[in-house]
Each structure stands twice: as C-alpha cells, then as structure tokens.
Amino acid sequence: MLEARSVAVVGASRRPGSAGDTMVSELQVGGFNGPIYPVNPGYEEVRGLRCYPSLAELPEPVDLVILGVKNALLESQLELAGDNGARAAVIFASCLEEEPRETPLAQRLRALADSYSIALCGGSGMGFLNLDSNLRALAFPERDDLRSGPITWLSHSGSVFTALLHNQRGLRFNLAVSAGMELTTTVADYLRYSLELESTRLVAMFLETVRDPVGFREGLRLANERDVPVVILKIGKEDRARELVVAHSGALAGADGAYEALFREYGVIRVDNLDEMVDTLELFAAGRRAPTGGLSAIHDSGGERAHLIDVAAEIGTPLADISDTTKQRMAAVLDPGLPAVNPVDAWGTGHNSESIYKECMRALLDDDDTAALAFVMDLSDELHEDGGGYTGDVAQEIWNETDKPFAVLSNLGCAIPEKSAANVRGYGIPLLEGTATGLAAFRNLFAHAAFAALPEKEHQPVEPVTTEIRDRWRARLASGETWTEFDGLELLADYGIPTARSETAESSREALEAAERLGWPVVIKTAAEISHKSDQGGVVVGVEDAAALEAAYDDLSTRLGSRVLVQEMAPTGVELALGTVLDPQFGPLVMVAAGGVWVELLEDRAFALPSLDTARAERLLAELAINKLLAGARGSEPADRGAIVATIVRLSLLAVDMGEGLAALDINPLIAGPEGCMAVDALVVPKAPAAVERERPDADKKRRCTG
C-alpha cells in the first residue's frame, strides 16, 4: 500500500477540481513515477492518461487501487480490485449505508478485503502520502511543494491530518496517513512500518482510540528501541470502566487511565492540544536532545521575563539553577540595573545589545544546569528591517556554537512577521510560537530525556512468589466465591505486602480475645459485605480497652450484623491508595493515589502498566501531589519511601500474576510512616468467570472496529 509501484484510480474524472480529477492530479503533482490507471467508463482519457472502463480491463494487476466511489459502489469495486490481483485499496467514503443491512457495510468490506488479502486504508479517511516514494493517495489537494522530512504523521481525524500538512512553519513529513476507521489497517501497522524507514526521526499522532493494543505496544517498543520520540494528542473520553466504579481504582482510571499508563510505560510525549503539538514537533524535529538540568532564557523585556517564570511554574517547565560563575559572567556585560539571573532580561540601553545577548547566552549555555536555552524575542519589532535579520542572525551564531537544544521563542505567535520567521527557520533553528506552548515543548523535551535516561527495567526487582501461592490465589479468584477484607489482606500478605494483622470475630467475647492477641489499641470494623464501610459508620479506630471495644461491637453488630474484623492499629502516617484495575484493552493497570476516605475527591492519582521496578515505582510515586507530604511536613518525620516503593513493585507483580482474573483491587489506605507502610483495608473484585472465558480469546488478538 504505502510503497505501491502502480496505482489505479477508480472514479477518475475530467471535471476540473472534482475529487476524481484531484486523485489523479495529486499523483502527478507528487511526481509518482509508476503507471497510473484512471478508471471510468465515461472517459477515454484523463489528464493525458488512458482511461479504462473498469478495473477488469486493466493490463496488469496493480499494487494500489484508490477507490474514489460512493458507499453504494464500494463493495462491487473492491471485488473487482480483488479479481485484478490488487494488493491494497484506499477508501474515502463513510462506509455507512442509507439503508443498513444486517451485516454492516464496513464489516462486509473488511471480510471481502481479508478474503483477497487486500490491505485497506480508511474508510472515512483522507488517504495517505508517502513523500519518500512520491506517492499521494488523496482525493483532496494537498500543497504542491511538500518535500519529505523527518516526521511520520498518523491521524484519525482527516481534518487535523490535512491541517498539519498545511502548516506554514516548515514541519515536514516522510509519511502521513489519515487512518480513518481502520477497516483492516490500524495506526499500529503504520507506526511499525514507519519505524522501518531510515527517514523517520519523530512520530506524531492524533488518536481517537487504539484498535490494536498489542500491535500498538509493539510499535511503541520499537520506537524506544530506535530512539524515535513519539508525540501523541489523544482525544475522547469513552466511559470504559463504569462496571468497576465499586473499586476506587476503577473509578479513578475512568476513560483515560489506560492511556496514561501506556504512554508512561513507553515515554510517549503526550500533548494537550494542537498548538502544543506543533511547537513540540518543531523543537524535537531539530534533533537535539537535552542533558539534565533546566531551561535558561534570555529576554529583551522585564515583563515578559516575569511572565515566563509564572507560566513555567504553571506548566511544570524546570528553570536552570545557574551558578555564581555564570551570574558573574553576565553581570560583567549587562547594563547597570539589570540583575544577572535566569531568566535574564538583557535589554538595557540598547547600546551594544547584540554583543550583550551573545555573551549572556554563551554564559548560560556553559552553565552545567542549563539543559536548553530559549532566546525569547517577539520578532515583531524587526518589521522595519526589511528582511528581518537581527534575531535570526544572533541566534544563528549561538546555534552553531552549541549542541544544547536551543530555540527562538516568540510570546505571540500571531505577531511574527513572515520574513523574520523564515530567517530563523532558514538556519534550522526552531521557532516556537507562544509562551505556554513553547515552554511546554521544552518541558516535553526534558521529560523525554528523563525517560531515555531511565535504567533498563530490572528483570526481578523483588523475589517472586511461589507458583503454589500464585496458583492458589488464581483459583480462588476464579472460584466465584465472595471476597472479604480479611481474604484480601491475606492475598496481599502472601505477596509480601505489609498488612495490618487482623482476626474475624462473631461475638463480643471473640472480639475481645482477638484484641488481646493483637495488642491494644485496635480497630474494629464490620465484616458485612459492604464495599465502603465508613459510609455506613462501619469502622471504629483507636479502640483502647475492653469497655470501648464492647460498646463498639454492640453498635456495629446491631446495625450491620454480628461479623466483625478486629485489626491492629497502624502507626500514624500518610494515607495512600494503591490499586489495580483490569483494562479491557491493555490488561492490568496499577494505580498509586492519595488515599483515605477522600480518595475520589482528591483525584490525585497516577497509573502505570505492570510490572514495575524500583525506579519506575519511584517515578510513579513522585507524580502525586501527596508526594510532598511523604518527605515530612509540619514537624512530621519523612515516610519510609523504600517501603512504599517496594509495596508498589509487589502489587504490580500481583497484578501480573492474577492477570485477567482480577477485575480490580484496592488497598485503601496504605498507611505510610517513618517505620514503614501498612495495608489496613483491601477490596478485591474478581472478574466474573464467564466474562473471563468470553474475553480471553481476544486478549492477544487484533481488536477491530466494528464500523
């Protein structure tokens, strides 16, 4: 498909500007050098090429058929393509019928394509361009002057596909695909193909969903292996975890937890919007990678300098902490009254500004903590200098002197004169078009570097459990029996997770005996089948003595039944929530969150794909806002991070071991103090056995769109 050497165009037309005309003209404009066979019974000739009445009349089998026909004709034309021996086809039409039949058109087309071993691009897409092989399979015109570049561009949205191809900032592509509804060929296939191309240095995607999770993961793995950064804008919030709202992990995962986990696993650079995407692509396309450190910035304005500090804090772009030497070097050249700091405002009297800029930039770039430099200039004041050269020329000199990432950053994209932009970009220097998006691009560059610097995943970060333990719990999950908190804590304990010692009791006397064995004070909780006990007043903590225990027992048993759990009291600490949830596409996810009874309100959580090793568990924990509390706050001692991290690692192994059998598990809370951490509550949601059976065959098979 993507390297077709011959192309048939069904629906070719002589009507200027029509889709039938464009399909042929785009092939010609693109410089396609294989045979092009227009097909239309109404013409003898289209655009100087012999036109054939039908696919059945072609002189040879073709590699690619561009099916520029309406829905009603797709099936018959695809069949003719198959009979011709064609290898691939592109479909633009929606694949929706006016009068739907029992088997939808999309499904029939897929079956037909499969029976002929034809790869389909689309439907409901805008085709593709392979600029390395001068192949344009399009029904709408793209720019004539597209030249191949370092970026592979894959999009579910046709509008965004073509918008990005029309960018006016020099972003260039080797391959661009509008994947549409992915009848037989998914972004995973295009991704893996692109990573076989020498010319692919960067991949950008606009994703609605992932239809082939296994292939997609493999693609991301290959990208890591080849050190190709992948930038993704993921849209859409399908409500996929509704059945799991009983577990906090399921509710918090929502529609996006799986993608968050997936992207984290492979260091995908996730962008929030298209503006951030293009600034990020331009910065990455320059090919420079960041060492460790932060951003240094130089300005011609005190106001913009202060604004940059605010925005950097807001979006999480670290600023370089420059040394005294660097400060002294800058102070030596700066005009009086301008502080030698980072970011620096270097515009004073304007006298000698060029050499002041250069000297300050050199000082900043020499600083060990400068991972990248932004030359922040609005460029708008260069209008008068016909040819707009000043900033670009200064930038070029510095660009050539350093290997560190460097960009000109304009605070206001809409005010950049074309000539100034062309001048900067003409030197190969990225020009970022907005304070927030430009700073996000730098943040993304640093995040990518941090990911690349991660040590390879430890093969066995902790001792695995015995197969006896694993199989016993798997069988327990599959048995269909209900799970109590006590059972859940036992499962955790078997996986080496520290848990509060607990005993069940059926009477006041049994409760008292249990408390004596566990040691005072204790916690007493209802053991009724209630997922969230506190909601019903089912938990009494800090029970100091027999009288208090008896009172608590009487109350609990009257309201919620005679069965209770008596539990050792955890030392005070920060309440975290750990959990797992089974994603229908990507399998088990591991959650780390701020815990306790407010877990859903706080929404301070991070998801990852298991298994996790120490470094990855540590990074996950560091994502949380509550992470700050773990370092100790207001006189409290820091929590034992090592113990928490080890618990996350062990839980991730549990998630892998239990696999499809475990729909969700909540440890809420895990109480983390200076002496270690302790799980005091466990909620286990097994996957319904029937559902396990139904879904298993799909687990490692391609998932396909049903149209």
Of Mg ion, ligand ADP, none, which one does residue 117 interact with (CB within 5 to 8 Å by kind)?
none
Q: How far apart are CA 616 and CA 610, in angstroms?
A: 10
Pick 342 or 567: Cβ nearer Mg ion = 567
Of ligand ADP, Mg ion, none, which one does residue 103 interact with (CB within 5 to 8 Å by kind)?
none
Q: Tell the smallest beta-carbon distance from residue 670 to Mg ion (Å).
A: 10
Cβ neighbours for 341, distance < 8 A, ≥ 6 positions apart: 322, 327
Pick 295 or 527: Cβ nearer ligand ADP = 527
Of ligand ADP, Mg ion, none, which one does residue 367 interact with (CB within 5 to 8 Å by kind)?
none
Sheet holding 64-67, edge to edge: 36-39, 7-10, 64-67, 88-91, 119-121
Q: How far apart are CA 219 and CA 210, in angstroms?
A: 12
Q: How far apart are CA 135 and CA 359, in angstroms?
A: 48
Q: Tell the smallest beta-carbon distance from residue 265 to Mg ion (Å).
A: 28
The structure tokens listed for 236 are: 């859409």
Q: How far apart are CA 658 and CA 685, in angstroms?
A: 12
Enumerate binding residues for Mg ion (CB under 5 A): 668, 681
Pick 570 or 589: Cβ nearer ligand ADP = 570
Pick 12 or 630: Cβ nearer ligand ADP = 630
Q: How far apart are CA 113 and CA 6, in angstroms?
A: 19
Q: Tell the smallest beta-carbon distance from residue 596 to Mg ion (Å).
A: 8
Q: Tell the smallest beta-carbon distance from residue 488 to Mg ion (Å).
A: 10
Q: How far apart are CA 164 and CA 155, in angstroms?
A: 10
Q: What are phi and psi of 281, to 5 degrees?
A: -60, -40
Distances (CA, A) of 348 to 72, 299, 354, 572: 70, 11, 11, 56
The structure tokens listed for 54 are: 């039908």
For 219-242, the three-class secondary structure string (H helix, E strand, C coil) is: HHHHHHHCCCCEEEEECCCCCCCH
- Nearest Cα neighbor of 86 from 111, 118, 46 is 118
The structure tokens listed for 625 are: 């806002």
Pick 315 or 541: Cβ nearer Mg ion = 541
Q: Tell the smallest beta-carbon distance from residue 330 to ligand ADP (Å).
A: 52
Of Mg ion, ligand ADP, none, which one does residue 115 interact with (CB within 5 to 8 Å by kind)?
none
- Nearest Cα neighbor of 208 from 253, 147, 264, 161 is 161
If one counts every other C-beta atom within 10 angstroms of the C-beta of residue 568, the result is: 21
Of Mg ion, ligand ADP, none, which one does residue 378 interact with (CB within 5 to 8 Å by kind)?
none
Question: What is the DSSP code string of 652-692?
Answer: HHHHHHHGGGEEEEEEEEEEEETTEEEE--EEEEEPPHHHH
Q: What are phi and psi of 562, to 5 degrees?
A: -75, -20
Residue 207 · residue 187 · CB < 8 Å: yes
Helix, coil or strand: residue 69: coil
- Nearest Cα neighbor of 9 from 69, 74, 60, 57 is 69
Q: Tell the smallest beta-carbon distance from residue 655 to ligand ADP (Å).
A: 20
Pick 656 or 663: Cβ nearer Mg ion = 663
Sheet holding 539-543, edge to edge: 502-505, 564-568, 522-526, 539-543
Pick 653 or 680: Cβ nearer Mg ion = 680
Q: Tell the smallest beta-carbon distance from residue 143 to Mg ion (Å).
A: 58
Pick 245 or 597: Cβ nearer ligand ADP = 597
Of Mg ion, ligand ADP, none, which one does residue 662 interact with (CB within 5 to 8 Å by kind)?
none
Positive or negative, the CA dihedral 668, 674, 675, 676 is: positive
Residue 225 one-letter amino acid = E
Residue 346 · residue 269 · CB < 8 Å: no
Q: Tell the smallest beta-carbon distance from residue 571 to ligand ADP (Å).
A: 8
Query: Alpha helices of 93-199 — where are they, by DSSP H?
Result: 105-115, 158-165, 187-194
Pick 627 or 668: Cβ nearer Mg ion = 668
Q: How far apart are CA 39 and CA 106, in angstroms?
A: 23
* Chain residue at closest Cβ approach to Mg ion: 681
The structure tokens listed for 507 are: 């009477």
Q: Tell the smallest beta-carbon distance from residue 638 to ligand ADP (Å).
A: 19
Of Mg ion, ligand ADP, none, which one does residue 158 interact with (CB within 5 to 8 Å by kind)?
none
Pick 63 or 575: Cβ nearer Mg ion = 575
Secondary element (H or E) of residue 518: helix 508-518
Positive or negative, the CA dihedral 352, 354, 359, 360 is: positive
Q: Tell the smallest beta-carbon distance from residue 626 to ligand ADP (Å).
A: 14
Distances (CA, A) of 84 to 7, 60, 116, 614: 12, 8, 10, 56
Residue 325 one-letter amino acid = T
Of ligand ADP, Mg ion, none, which one does residue 500 interact with (CB within 5 to 8 Å by kind)?
ligand ADP
Q: Tell the smallest beta-carbon distance from residue 628 to ligand ADP (Å).
A: 19
Pick 293 or 669: Cβ nearer ligand ADP = 669
Q: Tell the smallest beta-carbon distance from residue 668 to Mg ion (Å).
A: 4
Pick 575 or 660: Cβ nearer ligand ADP = 575
Q: Tell the smallest beta-carbon distance from residue 107 to ligand ADP (Å).
A: 45
Pick 409 or 593: Cβ nearer Mg ion = 593
Q: How far apart are CA 509 and CA 511, in angstroms?
A: 5
Enumerate binding residues for ligand ADP (CB under 6 A): 500, 523, 525, 532-534, 539, 541, 567, 569-570, 575, 596-597, 668-669, 671, 680-681
637-659 burial, b if ≥16 CB within 10 A, otherwise e? eebbbebbbbbbbbbbbbbbbbb
Q: Tell the smallest beta-carbon distance from residue 535 to Mg ion (Å).
A: 10
Of Mg ion, ligand ADP, none, which one does residue 627 interact with (CB within 5 to 8 Å by kind)?
none
Q: Tell the smallest beta-carbon distance from residue 267 to ligand ADP (Å).
A: 34
Of ligand ADP, Mg ion, none, which one does residue 26 interact with (CB within 5 to 8 Å by kind)?
none
Pick 434 or 673: Cβ nearer ligand ADP = 673
- Nearest Cα neighbor of 445 from 293, 322, 280, 313 is 280
Q: Classify residue 148 as exposed, middle or buried by CB count within 10 Å of its CB (0-12, 13-18, 19+).
A: middle
Pick 122 or 673: Cβ nearer ligand ADP = 673
Q: Tell the smallest beta-carbon distance from residue 577 to Mg ion (Å).
A: 8
Of ligand ADP, Mg ion, none, which one does residue 533 interact with (CB within 5 to 8 Å by kind)?
ligand ADP
Of Mg ion, ligand ADP, none, which one does residue 541 interact with (CB within 5 to 8 Å by kind)?
ligand ADP
Q: Classify residue 328 as exposed, middle or buried by CB count within 10 Å of its CB (0-12, 13-18, 19+).
A: exposed
Pick 155 or 668: Cβ nearer Mg ion = 668
Of Mg ion, ligand ADP, none, which one does residue 539 interact with (CB within 5 to 8 Å by kind)?
ligand ADP
